[in-house]
């Protein structure tokens, strides 16, 4: 299960467990379960890093949209990392908006010229962001 924060995840786990218990009781089945204790923590974007990265992407001629974390999220351990050290999780467009990640169309875009440009521009912008931070701590 996934949730935007740990409190809501705990609430969801309780609701799901109650569904399991109800189904087991209604069907006469025996229920055994074990929750995996590993969790993906919510992403904590560092605003300074995000601002610098955005400026650097714009300087490379890339349009930048603000990412709304409540519009979509997945499972990544970058959230766990960002709880300990400053971080960002930029997403660079390499395909039309209607192409979903992890789809065959996205895989094609990833190995296309647009995919390579996105990779190179993102790497440049990240490197530029590091230089900005070192030059102006």
- Residue with tokens 């351990």, as numbered in its chain: 77
pTM of the full predicted structure?
0.77
Radius of gyration of the chain, Cα coordinates, nearest whole angstrom: 20
Look at residue 69 and tell me whether its pLDDT is greater than 80. Answer: no
pLDDT at 134: 95
114 φψ region: left (φ > 0), alpha (ψ -120 to 50), beta (else): alpha
∠ CA 90-6-70, nearest 5°, is: 40
Can you give the pLDDT at residue 41? 83
Structure confidence at residue 6 (pLDDT): 82
Instruction: Name the residue ranges covered by the structural domains of the chain.
Output: 1-39, 41-135
Share of the chain above pLDDT 90, in %: 66
With bands split at pLDDT 50, 70 and 90, how would you rate the model's confidence at 74? low
Residue 110: CB atoms within 10 A of its CB come to 15
Is residue 53 a contact partner of residue 90, using CB atoms and an 8 Å limit? yes
């Amino acid at each position: 299960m996934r949730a935007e924060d740990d409190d809501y995840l705990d609430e969801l786990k309780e609701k799901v467990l109650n569904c399991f218990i109800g189904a087991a009781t209604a069907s006469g089945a025996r229920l055994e379960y074990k929750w995996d204790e590993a969790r993906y923590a919510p992403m904590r974007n560092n605003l300074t890093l995000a601002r610098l990265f955005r400026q650097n992407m714009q300087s490379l001629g890339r349009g930048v949209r603000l990412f709304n974390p409540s519009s979509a999220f997945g499972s990544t351990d970058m959230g766990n990392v960002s709880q300990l050290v400053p971080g960002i999780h930029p997403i660079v467009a390499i395909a039309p908006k209607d192409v979903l990640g992890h789809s065959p169309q996205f895989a094609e875009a990833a190995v296309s010229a647009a995919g390579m440009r996105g990779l190179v521009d993102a790497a440049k912008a990240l490197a530029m962001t590091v230089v900005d931070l070192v030059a102006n701590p």
